[in-house]
Structure 1
Amino acid sequence: MLFLGTNLAIIVVLSITLRILGVERILDEQGVGLNLNALLVFAAVFGFGGSFISLAISKWMAKKTMNVHVIEEPRNATEQWLLETVRRQARAAGIGMPEVGIYDSPDPNAFATGMSRNNALVAVSSGLMRSMSQGEVEAVLGHEVGHVANGDMVTLALIQGVVNTFVIFLARVLGHFVDRVVFKNEQGHGPAFWITTIVAEILLAILASIIVMWFSRQREFRADEAGAKLAGRDQMIGALESLARASGRPVDMPDQMAAFGIRGGVPQGIKRLFMTHPPIEERIMALKGMRG
C-alpha cells in the first residue's frame, strides 16, 4: 500500500509540474486536438517512471516510515538467529543475502521490499517475534524470502507501470473530450481540461489498483508455497493460524464462502477487490491442498 500510495503521489505531482512548465503542449496537434501517438509515448514514459521511482525508493521509505533497525552486528541471540535463518533461506532460494531488520510494533507482521532479488530488505515486527514460535517465524521469513526470490516487487512495478500508462492516457483523452464537447473550447486547452484530467487520474488510478491488488493476492499464494518449501508446510500453516488468532478471526470458518464476502453482502465484496492479501482461511486451504 505504501508503494501504491507513493506511485499515485508521484504521478499526480509529475502531471501538475509538467502542466506548470508547459511541457504537455507537445501533446497538442496544431492546437486543435491531441496527438495520440505522442500522448501514448508520454504516458508510457511517465507511467513507468512513476512506478520505478516508487520501486527505487521503496526500501529507503520502508526503513524510514517503519523505523526499521537493520541488523548489521547482532546484539543478541535472537538477531543472530534471524540473520542465519535468512542467510540459509536466501542461499536455498538462489538469491543474494537481503538486509534483515526488526521494527517495533505490537502487531505480528513482516514485509520484504527492494529493487531486485539481490538488493532486498526483509523485516519482522517485534510483535511477531513475541507471539510466534521459532518455527513459525522461520516460515514467515521463508514467505518473505519467497517474495524476493519470485521477483514480486519488480513484477508489480511493471504491472503498475502498464496501469499508470493507461491511466495517464485515458485521463487526458477524457479531459480533452470534456474541454471540447462539454465546454466547447475550440482552441488549446482550458481549465476544464486540466481539472478533468487531474480528477480522472485520481479516480482511474483507484479503479486500476483493483488489477494490481488482484495480482498481489495471487503472489501471496506463491509466497506461502515458498515459505512451506523453505520451512515446512506445517510451520507455514501454523504461522498463518497464529496470524488469524492475532487478528481475532476464527481459523476454521463453518462456511468457507464467508471469505468471499457472501455473508457480508455487497460492501464486503467490494472491499475484497482492494485487498492486497487473500483471506487467511483461503491461504491455509491452499497449503492443505483444499483450495478451489
Structure 2
Amino acid sequence: MNVMRTGILLAGLVALFLAVGYAIGGQTGMLIALVFSVGMNAFAYWNSDKMVLSMHGARQIDRAASPDFYDMIERLSRNAGLPMPKVYVMDNPQPNAFATGRDPEHAAVAATSGLLSSLSYDEIEGVMAHELAHIRNRDTLIMTVTATIAGAISMLGNFAFFFGGGDRDRNGGLGMIGTLLMIIVAPLAAMLVQMAISRTREYSADRAGAEISGKPMALASALARISNAAHHVENDTAEANPATAHMFIINPLSGRRMDNLFSTHPATENRIAALKQIAGEMGGAAPQAQSSGPWSGGPARPNKGPWG
C-alpha cells in the first residue's frame, strides 16, 4: 500500500514541479522542471536514506561499539520478523530517533546520544520497537522520500525568488506577484505532503511497537519524556533541515520559527492515551518508576547503568 502511495506522491510532485517550472520560466522552465523532477525522484528513491542520515550526522555502529544497544535492536528485529537493520547514533543532546530505508532489506534505525543517555532501558526499547514498526509497515520509503522532496519543494520558492518575476512575458504574466505566491505556496505544499502521510502512521507504529516490545507503557513514558525534552533541548540539525521532522518519533523542532509548519505529529497526549488503551488490552500495568539512563558518557560506553 505504501509503495502505491509513494508512486502517487511522486507523480503528484512531478506535476507540481511542472506547474512551478511553468510559473517561473514558461515552457522552458516547465521542461527544465520535468528533467529535474524525474532525476530527483530517481535519486530520492535510491539515496534519500543516505542523505537524511548524513544531514543529521549519524554514524554507523556495530556490536563492538555498543553491544547492549546493538543486541537490543537485533532482538527486537527478531520479534518483528525483520532482518537486522543498520544501526546509527547521532551525537545530539535531544532524545529522539527515526528509521529510514526504502524497504526492510535496506533499512536503518538511528537514535540520538541524548536518547541513549537520558531514558531507561525499557523506554529505549519501546522507542526502537516503534521505529522497527515503521520499517515493518514499510512507512520508511514514503517517509524518507518525502523528507527529500519536501525540502526540494521548499527550495523551489527560493528559485522563484531569484529567477522568477524578472521577465513578465516569460513567466506567463505572473510577474512579481506570481513569484511571491510561489514562495508562499511551495513551503505550504511541502507541509501538506507531510501532513497527508504522518498522523495515522504514528498511531499504527505506536501500536505495532508496543506489540514488538511488549511494553506499551514504557513507550508511553518515553513519548512523554522525549516530548518534554524537545521543548527545552534544541535539535540544531533538525532546525536546519525541518523537512525531516516528520521522520522522528517526536517532532524535534522547537516551534520558535516558521519551520514549525513542518510539525506533523499527532498530539503526544493522544498517543499516550492510545497506548494506555493498548496496555489495557495487553494486560499491561501503570508505568514503572523511571530509572537512570542506560549509560554515562554516550553510546561508546555501554557497560554502565542499567545496561551493565
Query: What is the TM-score normalised by the length of structure 2?
Result: 0.58
CA deviation profile, 1:158-205 (whole Å, cap 9, x unmatched):
79979x99xx9xxx9xxxxx99xxx6x5xxx35856877765554333
C-alpha distance 49-218 of structure 1, shift in aligned 2 (>3 A): farther
Give the structure 1 partner of residue 227 of structure 2. 244
C-alpha distance 288-52 of structure 1, shift in aligned 2 (>3 A): farther
Give the structure 1 partner of residue 40 of structure 2. 50
How far apart in 1 are the matches of 2:203 and 2:224? 15
Give the structure 2 partner of residue 175 of structure 1. none
1:92 to 79, 94, 118: 79
C-alpha distance 201-88 of structure 1, shift in aligned 2 (>3 A): farther
2:185 is the counterpart of 1:204: yes
8 Å CA contact 2:58, 2:90 repeated in 1: yes
| Count of equivalent residues | 230
Q: Which gives a bigger RCO, structure 1 or 2 (Cα 8 Å, sep 6+)?
A: 2
1:128 to 106, 111, 115: 115
What amino acid sits opposite 2:103 in the alignment? Answer: S
Question: Aligned Cα RMSD in Å?
Answer: 4.6
C-alpha distance 201-287 of structure 1, shift in aligned 2 (>3 A): same
Q: Share of identical aligned residues, percent?
A: 31
SS where residue 277 of structure 2 aligns? coil
How far apart in 2 are the matches of 1:146 and 1:45? 35
Aligned residue runs from structure 1 range 190-269, under 5 A: 192=173, 200-214=181-195, 215-231=197-213, 232-247=215-230
Aligned residue runs from structure 1 range 34-113, under 5 A: 47=37, 49-75=39-65, 79-113=66-100
8 Å CA contact 2:60, 2:87 repeated in 1: yes
Deviation at 1:89, TM superposition (A): 2.1
What amino acid sits opposite 2:277 in the alignment? Answer: G
Give the structure 1 partner of residue 269 of structure 2. 281
Deviation at 1:51, TM superposition (A): 4.2
SS where residue 100 of structure 2 aligns? strand
How far apart in 1 are the matches of 2:147 and 2:48? 16
Deviation at 1:153, TM superposition (A): 2.8
C-alpha distance 211-63 of structure 1, shift in aligned 2 (>3 A): closer
SS where residue 99 of structure 2 aligns? strand
